[in-house]
Chain A
Amino acid sequence: ETGVTQSPTHLIKTRGQQVTLRCSSQSGHNTVSWYQQALGQGPQFIFQYYREEENGRGNFPPRFSGLQFPNYSSELNVNALELDDSALYLCASSLDRANEQFFGPGTRLTVL
């Protein structure tokens, strides 16, 4: 069984740039959720993808977008980066939107 993986591990961008983060779900899982974790805080839900469709969204602006591919891997795209977007971005995979979510190692994004 393959666990959840994310790439890249670290990323440094400047304000106004765009970024794409990638997530490969655990083997057999068809649901991916994305979270933003600021330093010292709990993860905050961005959105969830189930079978290539968005299945719920948190309180994040439209410049946060995503997609899920037929192999259930997923991307998170952030446009017009702001300093406050600096955070650890986590994806979590689950089976059939089941509650048990397993996290990847995260991508540390720094916006300068």
Chain B
Amino acid sequence: GENVEQHPSTLSVQEGDSAVIKCTYSDSASNYFPWYKQELGKRPQLIIDIRSNVGEKKDQRIAVTLNKTAKHFSLHITETQPEDSAVYFCAAEFGNEKLTFGTGTRLTIIP
């Protein structure tokens, strides 16, 4: 079935260090993988996405890598700042533009 697994569920990182969140997906036909950031009580915000014809994409301190053969993709945040603290969700598109989300990673940046 359509499934996205996300690890870790919680992550604490010292300010200035890097954070990495990993996801695996079940359907090899998936070709779109967005990442959302959700602060407490707020809407999920799209922070970066990647399509299957690209192996890596970067936007300032945020990067996403995709390994289609292994069916996994990762979010990398460098030089973390307190405002990066939030819950991060990965997702994969399983046909019909339906997004299936991971269970989320609560990232805490320690000042």
Q: Which residues of A contact B (CB under 8 A)?
A: 4, 31, 33, 40-45, 48, 55-56, 58, 90, 94, 97-106
Contacts and interface: CB of A to CB of B under 8 A. Distances in A.
DSSP class of B's interface residues: helix, strand, loop or mixed?
strand
A45 B89 CA distance: 14
Interface in B77-111: 89, 91, 93, 95-104
Nearest to A3: B43
DSSP class of A's interface residues: helix, strand, loop or mixed?
loop
A100 B45 CA distance: 11
Greatest chain B CB density within 10 A among A4, A31, A42 is at A42
Nearest to B93: A99
Given A43-B99, A99-B49, 6 more contacts: A42-B89, A42-B104, A44-B101, A99-B99, A100-B34, A105-B43
A29 to B, nearest CB: 12
Contacts of B32: 99
